[in-house]
Structure formats: C-alpha cells, structure tokens
Structure 1
C-alpha cells in the first residue's frame, strides 16, 4: 500500500461465498437486496450459515506487479504488498482474490514479493511470499496447479520482503520456458537461488555469489533490506524445448553488489547458470527495476537511482542487443523535478516495437507530465498516454508510484499500470487521447485499524478507519464511500457516534502526508461535512509516528473521551474546544504501542468504560490488565477490583477488544487475547467464560501463543426468537478451531460462521450491525472489510 508500515497487517462485483454464493451481485435474485438490507433495516432472519462479501471501497492499496501469461489470453495476476494476490476475472471485468484461504498463521505471507507463471501450463502459478526481510522469518513458495483455486506451499531457505522498499522490482521469480521444472529466484539478501523440481527444493547459485547478509545485519540496512538480485531474464524465444535455457541474465542491485563484492549490476550466463560473466552497463550504481525482452531478442533495461516505491531519478532507459547499448530516454535530476523509471513492457519486435514506460515519482496531473510514456518505433520517439487524458473516476490520483506497466501480450492497445491505489487500465492506447478506467473491481486492499457501527435508524451503515486512506462513513455496503473527514488524516484510527443522535460522529487519526493534520474532527450531519476539533488532546501530537492504538468514545453530541496512543485519556464537553485529563493513570512504555480502549454505555451515556490490556505479553511480570468504569461521562474513573481476579490476562492492544451490549445498561464484554470476560453490573464484577483457548504451538506458556484465543468481540442485532438481546461475535479459537463465531444465546453456545476458504490471513476487527440481524463486519489482514449476509 501507499503507506507507513502497519503491523495490522487495502470493488466488489463478485460474491465471496463461504456457503455457495453466486459470482456477482447482478446475478442474485431480487431477494439479495432485501437479504443484505439497507443502512436502516433488514429482514429479521436467522441464517443457518453465513456468506461473506466485501464491503466496497475499491483499490486503495499498492499493487506491486501485474503478470500476464505469455500465450494464454486474459490470464493475468495482480500481486499486492500486504493484501493478497488476485486473478483477473474476464467475465466480470474485475478481480478474484485467490489467497483468501490463507489462515491466521499465514498473515506474514499475505503479500507476494513475486509471482511467476509456467509458460507451458497456464494453470500453474507460483507466489513467493514473506512480508518483511528484516523480520527473521524465511519466505514461502505457494504453488497452485489450478490458477490459485487451491495451494500447497514450500518453506524457502531465504527471506522475502513484499512490503519492504523496492517491492515492485522484478520479477524476481521466473520459470524456465524451455524446462519449466527449473525456477530461479533473486533474493534480496541471500543471492540467486535455483530449483530443478518445480520449486520443491532450492539451492543457492554459488557460481554467481555465495554471499548472504547475516540475519542480525539485515535490520540495520537502509530501509532494513537490500535490493539484492533484482530479476531473472531467460534470453530465448522458444518454449517447451525440454532442455534448460542456456542464456540467462540477472540484475544485481548496487547495494547488494557492493556487499557481495560483485563488480557489475548485470550478469550473463551462457551455460544454464553454471558460470556468470559481468556485463558492462552504460551506468553503474543504479537499480534495475525491470528488464524485458522483445520477440527479436532486443533487451530493454530501465535504470533508476532509487529503489522505490515511486523511485526517484536520475533515470535511463536503454536497449541492449547483447553487445551494444543504445540510450532511448533519460530523466536527469533538476532543481524542480526528480523523475525515475519504474514499469517497463514491450510488444512486437523490430523498428515497430511498442514500449510502455512507467515514470515514477511524477505527481499530479499537469500538461507535459510524464506518467506512462509510449513509443511505437522502438524508442525513437515518445508520447504521453496517461496524464491530461480522460480518467474514470476523475477524482482518483493515477501518478506517483507507476512502478509496473504491462502491455497485454494479446492486445497491444490494452495497457495497465499500477499506482499507490490500485490499477489503471486503457484499451485505447493507440488513440490520440486514450481513455483510462480504474481497474479495481473486487480488488480490496486496505489496512483496517478499527470499525464501528451506529444504532438502528442511522443514515449510514459503518464507520471504517484505515491506514493511508483515513476514516470513511459507509452509507451503503456495496458502494464506495464518499463521506468522511477526507483530507484530514492519512491514517484513520477510530470513530464513534452519539447513540442518542447518530448524526453526530467524532473521528481521530494521524496526518502522515496530510498537512496541518487536526488529529480529530466531528460531524453533525452523518459525515457529510466535518469540523476539526478546535484544540487537540494535550498528548495528541500531530506527527507521523503517533500509533494507531487510539480510541474515542462519544457520550453525547459535543461530548467525548479521547485516548491517544500511549496517553492518558482526556474528555471534552464542548466539541473539542477544551480537553481535560481524566483521572486514569499514565501508561508506561513497554516497547510497543499501547493505549486505552474507551467505550460509552449505549443505554446510559454517563457511564464510560476504559480497558487497558497491559500493553505487551512481557509486561505480565510488571503489571496486569485493568478495567475502569465511570459514572460521570468519563471524567473520573474507578478501577474494578475483580477484573484480574476473574482471570483477565495481559496482551497487546490489537489482541484485545471491548464491546457493550447496546440493549442493556452495564452489560460489558471483553476479550483479553485468551478468554471472554463478561460483566452485567457496569464492570464492578466479572465472570470469565471457559469457551476459548489459545494455541501455544511450540511456544512456552510463559510467553505468548502462536494464535491467541480471543482477539475481537462485537455485539449486534439479534434474530427473532433469540434468547439474548444481542448476537455476540468473536474472533478466536473454540474447540481448537480458529474462526469467526456467533452466539445468539448470551455465549452459551457458539457456531463458526466462516470456513477455511474465507480466513483472509487472519481477522483483526469486528463490528456488528444494529439493524440487520446476523450481519457482522470483519477486517481481513490487508484485505479490506467483509460482511455476512
């Protein structure tokens, strides 16, 4: 994503059906709209199962690469940095997510650093996954023989960094077109690797270099990673010959070359990788984000000074005939411009070769701006086909991170390019004024930080706060939201509504790239217009480093309690004109972000609850978790003396949650990462439910579980005939099975409402609908938000 690194882990035409849903909303029966309901109502039905669909936002995350099959029309994949991999769905002109079956233990593998296709078998696809090179975890290779409908995996002996700097460089993984059992991978910190058995086993290509960064040094590298071996290119026009391709090129990043003692940025083998010879390049010390081969054997190579994403220049594009280099285009760093080169694709051969070049670090939309440069004469002349041309929609940026550009191998007028918010597509590249469309149908990549729902009768369905794109007010779940404090926050952290008047909403977040970030704002018209708080919480510094461990509780219009990350909560009674500290204690530093979770009682707004989960598992020897309650609107709090004795444990902010029953005063539910705790007397006394249990795996029980037992909880409208006033939803482990669970009888019995094909590499947040029974909203790991229907 176009984002800061988030440990939370960015469109909807097709239904993601856990229990046999149809392929798109348009194919549903007329009862579909009634089934999912509107923002203010829905049929009182109790589903015996639950089907899942994306809440639409559309794109918003960084697609790092597009991979066409070289011969099979319309076989196309999109890889993202932390939100899974997608396959093109030509029937809907959208995208099908193909990694939603990744489980809670696979969140680290939910970004693909590289994707490779077998040129001889259009059903075989490979993903190299692993989100951060510096994490200490090795990468995985996922293998599918049915275009991603199912996967097996192999643990790799090196690391990957799908969400690290330079994540659009590549492709690093390539399949030999003549002997497809042979795969090569260019790793960031461990050199070049080869498999001769369809990826099952791997060995380092020591004939190039045996250098590997020591693991303890990777985190101290600039950006905590290296460019490494950037790409592999087979110099052949044949396919399926049965003998391994002999002539191979591989690009080496300047940082890795220096560390490994390599004296070139491009190497060539003419004996199938047995030996390598450095190729003299016209520029040195540059990254090679992409190099591609035309049908006539000419190789086109982009050089750019920075690693990216959105790499700056200076930059050069050359063509190489195996001996000679010819400069085709250059961008020099001037005082007012710093363009680099990112995406590169070619079509055809000879003097009419079409080249598409993505210009990175070029922002905005102005006359003469280079975004996608196209040449139809092998680089002799160029024209711009993206900037100052029609784009649909017209209010979405399309420039900046143009780090991959692809020409459809079966239609040279069909060109796609990535950017920080998804994919743009044109099918009229030869026109004098090509038209572009945002190609993100069913491609949902957002890092969701928190979710909240309003009471029945509100004119909106959901408040969603996300990394990079701020906070949005979702009026309809199948339409892109247009309301919110747009332009106020880069990262939206939390939002809440006044239960007595849901037209009043308050939201908090951080600025990042937003100038003069107010850190907090409110709306009195259901999110149509917004007013910044006149002042900030005393500890709510406006900077890029304020953590997302932040909540706000609205007790009434103009009244709220704000708990920034790492800070003591404060309250306002005048729409944020003044803030006064509560009597809650300060939070000590524990090495990771921490914060209070504050929530208002929905039946009695004078009651406000505050939950401190302890901050980190290692803090269990210095502190406990804590629960506090207030009877004066969140001004002063009293600590519960029974919370810990009931069994509450220490966990991090994102492994814990609190929810109130909107239909009963003082009815509070907490999950502390391990168990469910319940209070019916406003937090004075507590009962621990023996329902969930963590999976410790090989970890010691004095440390932390490999999978926590209960991490998120939400309460929503109960179906007719339920024995408890709300349906309860949790994310956790019951009877040794992780999933999303629902109870309609006050937590006496539970049933799982997702299946193994819909795990989304873990689920971080829940919010339950107060108007539609059985509807819960859930945030996948970098995969946006889903709802049940």
Structure 2
C-alpha cells in the first residue's frame, strides 16, 4: 500500500481561515535582556521556497487543455495540484487558503477539469478519502478558479471523494460538456453519476442510477469503492452553448453489482437523463476501465484491466470502440499479461495514429513500461520505449497509470509514476531518452526534521515517508547522503550538538517483510553504519511514531512506536530498556518524544502527550540525569495538566542555548518551563477552534520550533508555533520568549496544514517545515 494511506501528516490542520494578524501581546516569560530590547514581536516571512527533492510522490493524472496546449495540470493524491510552466517546471496552485481540513482533507485531488472555451478556468474535485474506518461517507469539495489556479472559490459536494484511494489514477471523473461547459458531470465512487448545470455550485444525480452505497456496503467491498469511473462526450466540437446529448459512462464492477446494472459501459442520448447498457467484448466482461479517449474521427480507445488500482496486475486489453459514428463496433488492438494497462493516449486518427499505452504493475527490467504503435495499433506494430530507464526507488516503476502525448509534438510523451513524472522528447528514436520534469513539484511527506547547530556542513536531516532519511546539504539540489536509499520510511533522526558530524537515524524498508533499521554516521552522513541490533519494540512496531536522540558519540536513546525507550553506549551493538518509564499511552500509535538538554546532555526528557484526545490521560514529562538510562516523573508536568492528544498533535522541544529550558505544545496550548519542567507557564492566546461545517478543527498549538534569535532579542531563541490565535491558524513567532506574538505565514502559504517544523540556527527568520504532501519548504 502506498505510504500516503498511512502517512498523511497527522498534525496538519485546517487552512480554511481568513485574514492575517499582526503582533499581539500574551503573558509569558522572557529572559533577561542583553543589549537593546525589541519592543514587540513583528514581521513575517517574506519568501517561501521548496527544498529540492524532485517529485517523490504519486502524480495521479496529467490534463492538457483541449485547445490551448500550453496549459496543462497535474494532480496528486495528497499534495494538491500543479500547473505546467514548460521546461520541466511546475507551479503549485493549492498552497493557499481553503485546502485544509482536520488532516489536509482537501489536498487530495481526485479529478481536474478545464473549460474548453476558457483556458483560464479550471476545476478541482478534492477529498482524501471517501469514507472513514467505519464506512461512513465523507463528502468532498469542488474548487473553481478563473485565473489558472491563482485564486479559488469552493463548494461542498453532496457525494464522497477519494483522492488518495485505490484506483486514484484512473481517467478524469470530472468532465465539462465541450459545447456547454457550465454543465459538469462527476463520476463518483459511491453515489453514481452526478450533473451540475451551474459550474459546480449545485448537483443532482443523473438517471444512470440512484444507488448510494451504505457504510456497510462500503466496508463489505474490502477496499476503496471505485464506482462510476468516467464519462466521455460523443462530441469533438468546442463552444456554441448547445448541450451534448450523446455520452458514454464507464462503470466499475463493484458499482455495477451493487446498483444492479447490466454492463460496465452505458450510453445516454439525452444529456444524461436516462441510460442504456452497451455490450462490451466477452474477454473484458467485468473488467475495470482505467482510461478511455476519443479521437476527432469519432473512435474511442478504451483500456480494460482485470484489476483496479495503481500498479494493478493484468490481464489488460486495449480496444478501439466505434461509438455512434461506427455502429459501436469493437476491435482488439493489444493485450498484456505482464502487468496490466493503466493509461492510453492517441495522436492522430485511423491507421496512422500514434498510440501510447502505459503498462502498470511491472516491476523488473525486461518488462513493458510504455508501449508505442505508429500504425493505429495494428498487430505487430507495438514496441517498448521506456524499459531500462531509471525510476527512483524501484517500487515506483510499476505505477505507470496515466500517459499523455503532447498534442503539439508526438515525440514528447509524459507518463506518471509513484515518484512523479517522466518524459521523453524523442519517442520516435530506437532507444528514446527519458528525464524527470519535476522542478518545483515536491510531494514527499516529511515525518521528522532536525537541524544542526550553526556552522554545520548541512542544513537538516529529513525523515520522510517512502523516501527514508536524507541529509540535506544544498537546498537547491537533490540530496545524496542517506543510510538507506531503498523504498521505505525515515521515521526519526538526531544530530549531536557538540559534534554535528555525528548523526543517528531510524526507519523501515518497505516490503514483505518490512525491515526496520537504525544507523549512525560520524562524517555528516557521507558514510553510514547500521546498528548491529535493534531495541525492544523496534522490530515489531512499524508505525511512524518514533523518536531518537544522541547524548554523545556512541550513546543513543531510541523510543520505538508504542514501546518503552532503550539506550545504547556502543552504537547499537546492544540495547537496554530504560527504567522508570511506563509503556506510552495508547488510543492511537504513540511514542515518547525524547529531548536532550544540549547544555547538559546527560539530561534527557521524555514526553508522553497522552496518546489520544479521548482517552482522558493527560500528557506527562519524565526526566533522566544519566543519559536516558533511567527516568523519573516530573511532578510539575502533572500539575501543568497538559491536554491529552495524539503523537502528531503534540511537541516538546528544548532551547539549546539555556539549560532546563523546555517548550510543550499539547495540541491546544503552549507551555514554557525554565527549570527542567518543575513548573510551567501556560501562555495565553493559543486555543483550538472547534470544527465548523466541512472544515476540521483548528488546533490551538501542535508544533513548536526554536531557531536563531533576532539581534537584540530578550530571549536566546526565536520561537515558532503552529497553531491558532484569535481564531486564525498559521505559524506564529515570538522574539521575546512568548511575551508577544506575530503571525509568520499568510493565507497564501497554508500548505493544507503543517506537519513538522524546525528552526535554522544560522539565519534568523528561516524555518523549515512540511506542508501536507508538499515536501519541505523554507522561509526567509
């Protein structure tokens, strides 16, 4: 299963808020002034730049405008949408206000449509999942832009949307009538086919079926429902205002069975009011239809696959379907048993058409990836043009589920995969060359970030879902330093403050079986050695709720998921479980957050945030004075009465410039201690705003980061908090130890929530943070 099902950033918060806020005052402690003292915290970030990785996540579809071919969009399963700039570069168009939700719920884009008569108008249908764990439907949203994604208006939809569910890379579910583009159709997963006549503001079911799957029926399917897959208009004209009356709808077998339909293909001749079944070839009866395209001569090219979903195995078939122009006849053009067929694209018509087929579910060299025919798919004319190209992380090669031939250049072909987009500009060559056009398309999901002290030779260590642990030395260059480049998760890392050449990291390599690992480097990540053994819990608990710290070379404390931390004095040669700590609270996957006192590294703190909001167990801090070998409960944390929340909504950090200086975000509020947790001051102003309508709760405080202090500040670090003040969610910062606050980000830079954040110790005002499926962003 792709990591995005498991690793949606749990700390992401709703971004549907309005307005910016200036500085405001809040009661809180501040250090004794040294030098000129700033009157109050002011200012905000002036620039936001993506740290270079290059793709890293699943692009689920590419959409060209049908007449303005320079306009193209990409959709992703959790990371929003992008507009093509040409030259291998993209502009993210969903970073602003409105794409939030309790967990970035509207950053998963299930479908995109463009207005064929207006190349500035674009629609997105969004929603991460169509149902919760009990099968209860979760409705999505439609976003409308008249300026190619620079600004948006959205409407709530009356049906569920599953942008991060199985079969998320099938053809576009959302379609605009080419001659009357204010009329939209949507092929939903659980509620049939819907129609809007006012550009998505209101919707009604069509006559295809009134069946809406119940929660129990959704659960009974055993995986994500696919439902109605897509529709195609039997019309190549653009504009004019008349309704397109004839159209075809492809329907997945799951909905066919539940709705009592007679075929996986239906036709309407009255604009969707009523539908009749169309017989498909017996060889593909009960198959899924991941993609279908219509050419200007009236033919359809329809891909059938036995199985649904990204990387789905075959058999797969490609048929040419005559449509109404050719008496609805079927001609088989290609079939495969090595993997299945995912996508199809056609350039030209008839016997000289160029057809590109995306082969999905093939994982090894010597198997097909992209099949090409220059003779309309005639037998014996197919050749492989992509096998042998390097796809990052071998596990992604098999997710080739959409393909597009550039309408202006048949030698320019792009296809998606689990790590981004690949393209060739010489498809006619005997051995085409391929490259990855993913500049500024960043879709990694970071789970943890740690920055080193000023002067280190690298910027930070990034622990992320799917791509692992990486040491970033250059913000504009894809990193190369890693303990393990295999497909899997980086869960946690730490750097030794007194010697940042020493780095430790933990993660897993995905596969059957999953393989956990821990590793250390003594040369800033240039070379790594795996720990010879694993602590208790690390080999059985693979959740990404993990924490790890180092107190000195060779000395590490590791807190695996749902486990008591363990320590080693010999780089993982052996491990001993720490004493004095209970198993972390349950409810959800949980772990102790470990913090080293950088001024006194034998002092280690362990914070249990409570496990889950509903279990009623408040967060607690434990302290060790022997390098994490033994711990004792800090009674002051009991008196603080931290709210219980899950791992992803809580944080504890220490100020490396002051001994015993701790900060906690408990999901609702911010707390500060200057005496190792013996007493805590609760800062006023941060508070959770309850959920409203389709917008999830705006958590009061989920993340805290410390970074280089501003010159003249009364506190030795700049403080950054992800949370809500005065009903406004964002990143807030303080230069005086929490006495005053100002908003640091703005409405245009919301990123559907922020998962993790770390401050830079070289540059004041620079923070690194993860957007929801948007990689790592940094500010100035």
TM-score normalized by structure 2? Answer: 0.91
Match of 2:481 in 1: 483
Higher relative contact order (CA 8 A, sep 6+): 2
2:605 to 606, 609, 629: 609
* Structure 2 counterparts to residues 333-482 of structure 1, below 5 A: 338-366=338-366, 369-380=367-378, 381-388=381-388, 399-482=397-480
Match of 1:668 in 2: 662
Residues 731 and 763, structure 1, Cα contact 8 Å, conserved in 2 = yes
Q: What SS does the aligned partner of 1:787 have? A: strand
1:706 to 2:690 alignment: no
Match of 1:227 in 2: 226
C-alpha spacing 1:461/1:605, structure 2 compared with 1 (3 Å): same
Q: What SS does the aligned partner of 2:297 have? A: coil
- The alignment covers a number of residue pairs equal to 735
Shift of 1:276: 1.2
Match of 2:66 in 1: 70
1:163 to 2:164 alignment: yes
Q: What SS does the aligned partner of 1:750 have? A: strand
C-alpha spacing 1:588/1:643, structure 2 compared with 1 (3 Å): closer
1:739 to 2:730 alignment: yes
1:776 to 2:770 alignment: no
User: Could you tell which deviates more after superposition, 266-275 or 289-298?
Assistant: 266-275
1:241 to 2:240 alignment: yes
Q: What SS does the aligned partner of 2:122 have? A: strand
C-alpha spacing 1:488/1:299, structure 2 compared with 1 (3 Å): closer
1:499 to 487, 497, 500: 497
Shift of 1:4: 5.1
Which digits, 9 at most, give the CA deviation of each residue in 1:443-496, with x for residues without a partner?
000111111101122211111111111111101111111111123660111100
Q: What SS does the aligned partner of 2:375 have? A: coil
Which digits, 9 at most, give the CA deviation of each residue in 1:280-300, with x for residues without a partner?
111211110001111111111
Mapped to 1, the partners of 2:44 and 2:146 lie a distance apart of: 33
Which digits, 9 at most, give the CA deviation of each residue in 1:85-107, with x for residues without a partner?
000013x5400000000444371
* Structure 2 counterparts to residues 49-64 of structure 1, below 5 A: 49-64=45-60
Match of 2:28 in 1: none
Residues 754 and 771, structure 2, Cα contact 8 Å, conserved in 1 = yes
Match of 1:13 in 2: none
User: Could you tell which deviates more after superposition, 179-188 or 545-554?
Assistant: 545-554
1:576 to 2:572 alignment: yes
Residues 181 and 196, structure 1, Cα contact 8 Å, conserved in 2 = yes
Mapped to 2, the partners of 1:778 and 1:588 lie a distance apart of: 26
2:113 to 113, 116, 119: 116
Q: What SS does the aligned partner of 1:413 have? A: coil
Mapped to 2, the partners of 1:122 and 1:705 lie a distance apart of: 33
Match of 1:252 in 2: 251
Residues 668 and 683, structure 1, Cα contact 8 Å, conserved in 2 = yes
* Structure 2 counterparts to residues 275-354 of structure 1, below 5 A: 275-282=274-281, 283-322=284-323, 323-332=328-337, 338-354=338-354
Residues 647 and 688, structure 1, Cα contact 8 Å, conserved in 2 = no
Mapped to 1, the partners of 2:453 and 2:364 lie a distance apart of: 40
1:651 to 2:645 alignment: yes
Q: CA RMSD in A?
A: 2.1
2:677 to 676, 680, 683: 683
Residues 88 and 436, structure 2, Cα contact 8 Å, conserved in 1 = no
Residues 584 and 591, structure 2, Cα contact 8 Å, conserved in 1 = no
Mapped to 2, the partners of 1:445 and 1:493 lie a distance apart of: 17
1:130 to 2:127 alignment: yes
Mapped to 2, the partners of 1:388 and 1:697 lie a distance apart of: 50
Shift of 1:197: 1.1
Q: What SS does the aligned partner of 1:451 have? A: strand
Mapped to 1, the partners of 2:383 and 2:435 lie a distance apart of: 19
2:555 to 540, 554, 559: 559
Shift of 1:511: 2.4
Residues 584 and 592, structure 2, Cα contact 8 Å, conserved in 1 = no
Which digits, 9 at most, give the CA deviation of each residue in 1:38-82, with x for residues without a partner?
xxxxxxxx9764321111111010000000001102100000000
Mapped to 2, the partners of 1:53 and 1:705 lie a distance apart of: 27
C-alpha spacing 1:314/1:48, structure 2 compared with 1 (3 Å): closer
Shift of 1:411: 1.9
User: Could you tell which deviates more after superposition, 771-780 or 416-425?
Assistant: 771-780
Q: What SS does the aligned partner of 1:501 have? A: coil
1:550 to 2:546 alignment: yes
Match of 2:91 in 1: 96
Mapped to 2, the partners of 1:219 and 1:756 lie a distance apart of: 37
Q: What SS does the aligned partner of 1:724 have? A: coil
Shift of 1:584: 3.8
Q: What SS does the aligned partner of 1:233 have? A: strand
Match of 2:25 in 1: none
Shift of 1:516: 7.1
C-alpha spacing 1:96/1:571, structure 2 compared with 1 (3 Å): same
Residues 488 and 514, structure 1, Cα contact 8 Å, conserved in 2 = no
2:688 to 694, 716, 722: 694
Runs of 5+ unmatched residues, structure 1:
10-45, 333-337
Which digits, 9 at most, give the CA deviation of each residue in 1:233-253, with x for residues without a partner?
001121113211111001010
Match of 1:763 in 2: 754
Mapped to 1, the partners of 2:126 and 2:578 lie a distance apart of: 45
Runs of 5+ unmatched residues, structure 2:
10-41
1:599 to 2:599 alignment: no
C-alpha spacing 1:251/1:344, structure 2 compared with 1 (3 Å): same
Residues 142 and 151, structure 1, Cα contact 8 Å, conserved in 2 = yes
